[in-house]
C-alpha cells in the first residue's frame, strides 16, 4: 500500500508529466506553423513520451492501492522567439522535471518506500537521457547561429527521430525497462 504522502506526490508528478506533454505539443504547433516539420515531429514524439511517463505513474499508483487524482493543467506558452529559444526552454523544463523526480526519490527513501524508490529509478535514468537529448539539439542550434542553412539540415535530422512504439510503451509500463 502506498502512503498518502507518496500518493499525493506522485499525483502531482502525473500532473507535471501531462503538463510536459502539453508544453511539447504547444512547441510542436509553433514550429509546425513556421514550416519546421522535423522540429515539430521531434517535439510531438517528446509529447508522446511524456504521456507514457504519466501513464506509468498512473498505473503504479493504482497497482499500489492508491487513488489517482487528476487536476487541471495550466496552459503552456504558445510563442517562442526561435527554435533555439524552444530548446533552451526544453532543457530548462527537463532540468525542472529532473529536480521533481529527485525529490520523489528522496521522499521514497525517507519513507522507506522501497517499491516506489525502485520504480522511480527508471525515471532517474530517463531524465539523464531527456536532458542530454535536449542539450544536444541546443548545442547544434547554437553552433549554427551564423549559418541559417544548418537549421534546415537539423530540421531534416530531427524529423528522423523514431516514434515511441506501442511495444516499448507496454514493456515500460510493465516495468521491463
User: Tens digit of pLDDT for each residue in 59-112?
Assistant: 999 999 999 999 999 999 999 999 999 999 999 999 999 999 999 999 999 999
Write out pLDDT tens, residues 12-62.
999 999 999 999 999 999 999 999 999 999 999 999 999 999 999 999 999
Q: Over 60: is that where the pLDDT of 127 sits?
A: yes
> Measured between alpha carbons, how far is 160 from 39 in angstroms, rounded to an integer?
10
Give the CATH number of the domain where residue 69 resides.
1.20.1260.10
Phi, psi at 52, each rounded to 5°: -60, -40
Q: What is the domain count for the chain?
A: 1
Q: What's residue 146's pLDDT?
A: 77
In which residue are the cell numbers 525529490 written? 103
Domain range enclosing 164: 4-173
Q: Using CA atoms, how far apart are residues 110 and 56, in angstroms rounded to an integer?
A: 22
Q: Which pTM value belongs to this model?
A: 0.90
pLDDT of residue 165: 58
Amino acid at each position: 500500500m502506498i502512503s498518502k504522502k507518496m500518493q499525493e506526490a506522485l499525483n502531482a508528478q502525473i500532473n507535471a508529466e501531462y503538463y510536459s506533454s502539453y508544453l511539447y505539443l504547444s512547441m510542436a504547433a509553433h514550429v509546425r506553423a513556421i514550416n519546421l516539420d522535423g522540429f515539430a515531429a521531434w517535439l510531438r514524439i517528446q509529447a508522446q513520451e511524456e504521456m507514457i511517463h504519466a501513464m506509468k505513474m498512473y498505473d503504479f499508483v493504482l497497482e499500489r492501492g492508491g487513488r489517482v487524482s487528476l487536476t487541471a493543467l495550466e496552459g503552456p506558452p504558445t510563442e517562442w522567439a526561435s527554435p533555439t529559444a524552444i530548446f533552451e526552454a526544453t532543457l530548462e523544463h527537463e532540468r525542472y522535471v529532473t529536480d521533481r523526480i529527485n525529490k520523489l526519490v528522496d521522499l521514497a527513501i525517507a519513507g522507506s518506500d522501497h517499491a516506489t524508490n525502485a520504480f522511480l529509478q527508471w525515471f532517474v535514468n530517463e531524465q539523464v537521457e531527456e536532458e542530454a537529448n535536449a542539450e544536444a539539439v541546443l548545442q547544434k542550434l547554437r553552433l549554427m547561429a551564423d549559418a541559417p542553412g544548418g537549421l534546415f539540415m537539423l530540421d531534416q535530422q530531427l524529423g528522423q527521430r523514431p516514434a515511441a512504439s506501442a511495444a516499448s510503451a507496454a514493456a515500460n509500463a510493465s516495468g521491463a525497462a
